Amino acid sequence: MNLTPATLARELEQYLRPQTFPLAINLLTSAEQIPEGARRPQPALGVRITICQGVGMARRYGWTIAIGRDDCSCPLAKSAFGLAPLLPFFEEGHTCAGMFTATPEAGARTEAATPRLPYGAYPYVLIGPLAKAKLSPDVVLLYGNSAQVMRLVQGALWREGGRLTSGFSGRIDCADEIIAPFETGEPQVILPCNGDRIFGGATDEEMAFSFPYARAEEILAGLTETHKHGVRYPVPNFLRFEASFPPSYEQLERLWNADAPES
């Protein structure tokens, strides 16, 4: 791919004007792949963090974060990302039941639908600003308002048309953001989950969008072409109309017109 991460970041910021940095995500197979300067939360910060915290730090602070099992505090993320063995207690729905589902059986269906990675396949998740990425990203992730996410959807559909399909459970959105596009090769619209809002700092006004880096040229071309044809962000208001006013305002206008000299 001729498009560098830094160029992609610059173009995305031009067309979308996001409030936080677009991110590069890599799923690493060994510690040797962690680039110099990346922070490991446990040794660097003295705390374990959630994946969504790492996303929040990267997009708001501009940090590059490498999260392994010893750095990750979230049992659900460790299960989904294969940072720890998948246990029957998780698969049977017990971490979901009583909070998000009425029964363990319903919880098991939710867990089964959550994107997952095989245990041990990718022991580190690297998250950092796209503009500073030292590795070719596996996934690109952006947060924005609904109009900015809409523009990304439009860009993704420019070449082939159709509709995007994404899944939503209101839980474990880090799996939707990272694992789903990594495994399916398709862009994803993401609804931030409770954890992302509590720990990652996602706001009520935000959604997210992620896509495989292999699709970056296609999506950027779609943003560029739709922008050329007038589909833009910020979405322009239609302002070429004459407004209506309260009766007292209209009376003032009639008084002016009554006193106006005849032409």
Question: Residue 261: its pLDDT value, please?
Answer: 73
Question: Residue 77: its pLDDT value, please?
Answer: 98
d(CA 156, CA 150): 10
Question: Residue 262: its pLDDT value, please?
Answer: 67
Question: Residue 197: its pLDDT value, please?
Answer: 97
Question: Comparing C-alpha atoms, which of 229, 223, 218, 144 is closest to residue 186?
Answer: 218
Amino acid at the residue 12: L
One pLDDT digit (tens) per residue for the chain, 263 residues? 689 999 999 999 999 999 999 999 999 999 999 999 999 999 999 999 999 999 999 999 999 999 999 999 999 999 999 999 999 999 999 999 999 999 999 999 999 999 999 999 999 999 999 999 999 999 999 999 999 999 999 999 999 999 999 999 999 999 999 999 999 999 999 999 999 999 999 999 999 999 999 999 999 999 999 999 999 999 999 999 999 999 999 999 999 998 777 65
Question: Residue 1: its pLDDT value, please?
Answer: 66
Question: Residue 30: its pLDDT value, please?
Answer: 97
Other CB atoms within 10 Å distance of the CB of residue 39: 20
Sequence-distant (6+) residues with CB within 8 A of 175 are: 77, 80, 81, 114, 115, 116
Question: Residue 248: its pLDDT value, please?
Answer: 97
Question: Residue 2: its pLDDT value, please?
Answer: 83
